[in-house]
């Protein structure tokens, strides 16, 4: 009998990546829903002080709302020259009403005087899985993945989303946005975290 996993996001790109990674891992026995299927859901305030804390907030809220096992991730970009910014504010770096393009423009401006060798960065992804228990409590599982690179001086590549077209991978000689989706799903921060999440879900199944 299949179990149901609520993926706590409405981001279509993120859902596609997660499902592709799970399929590549050979995860079996699960059917997936997303918050796009839950019209009445009101997302919680993400007021944690880390990626892991925000992932746990989102997973717990979705599990309590739905009664289903819920998985949430919180991910973003950390740049050494900016003392770890944009960090947990990656999605709203340029302001709550701005978009990915505005975030990238702000990032490039913040690094305009920084030499190439000092533009080291990492993508980080924290995953939380909230499992409702018979007594009304939640069992929480967590894992994390990262991917190291540096910030390029201009956007390159058409694949991916967010900061992908600025995230240069020296070992590949290109940005994440220039990689084929299947290659990104093999090496990305989300891939590392979701592969571990798949292992955790197998133990539940």
- Give the rounded percent of residues in the chain with a pLDDT score beyond 90: 79
CA distance 31 to 171: 36
To the nearest 5 percent, what fractions of the chain are helix, strand and coil? 40, 25, 30
Active site residue: 24, 74, 99, 116, which one?
Answer: 74
| Catalytic site includes residue 74 | yes
pLDDT at res. 147: 96
Q: What is the mean pLDDT of residues 130-148?
A: 96
User: Which DSSP string corresponds to 97-162?
Assistant: T--HHHHHHHHHHHTTT--GGG-EEEEEEEEEEEEE-TTS-EEEEEEEEEEEEEE-SS---SSS-T
pLDDT for residue 104: 97
Cα angle 83, 121, 123; round to 5: 110
Q: Say whether pLDDT at 205 is over 70.
A: no
pLDDT at position 14 over 90: no
Which residue ranges form the domains of the chain, and what is each CATH number? 3-204 (3.90.950.10)
Confidence of residue 1 (pLDDT cuts 50, 70, 90): low
Mean pLDDT in residue range 164-182: 95
Beta bridge partners of 129: 71, 141
The answer to whether residue 52 scores a pLDDT higher than 70 is: yes
- The whole-chain average pLDDT of the chain stands at 94
Strands 167-169 and 174-175: antiparallel
Question: Is the per-residue pLDDT at 131 higher than 80?
Answer: yes
User: Average pLDDT for residues 66-71, to the nearest whole number?
Assistant: 96
What percent of the chain clears pLDDT 70, i.e. is strictly above it?
99
pTM equals 0.89
- Dist CA 57 CA 47 (whole Å): 8
């Amino acid at each position: 009998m299949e179990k149901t996993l609520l993926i706590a996001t409405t981001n279509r790109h993120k859902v596609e990546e997660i499902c592709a990674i799970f399929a590549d891992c050979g995860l079996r026995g699960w059917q997936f829903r997303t918050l796009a299927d839950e019209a009445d859901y009101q997302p919680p305030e993400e007021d944690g002080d880390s990626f892991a804390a925000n992932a746990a907030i989102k997973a717990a809220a979705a599990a309590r709302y739905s009664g289903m096992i819920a998985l949430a991730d919180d991910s973003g970009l950390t740049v050494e020259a900016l003392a770890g910014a944009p960090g947990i504010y990656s999605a709203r770096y340029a302001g709550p009403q701005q978009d990915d393009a505005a975030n990238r423009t702000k990032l490039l401006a913040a690094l305009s005087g920084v030499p190439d060798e000092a533009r080291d960065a990492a993508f980080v992804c924290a995953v939380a899985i909230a499992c409702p228990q018979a007594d009304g409590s939640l069992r929480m599982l967590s894992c994390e993945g990262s991917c190291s690179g540096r910030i390029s001086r201009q956007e390159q590549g058409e694949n991916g989303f967010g900061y992908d077209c600025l995230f240069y991978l020296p070992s590949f000689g290109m940005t994440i946005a220039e990689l084929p989706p299947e290659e990104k799903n093999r090496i990305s921060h989300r891939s590392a975290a979701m592969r571990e999440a798949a292992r955790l879900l197998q133990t539940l199944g």
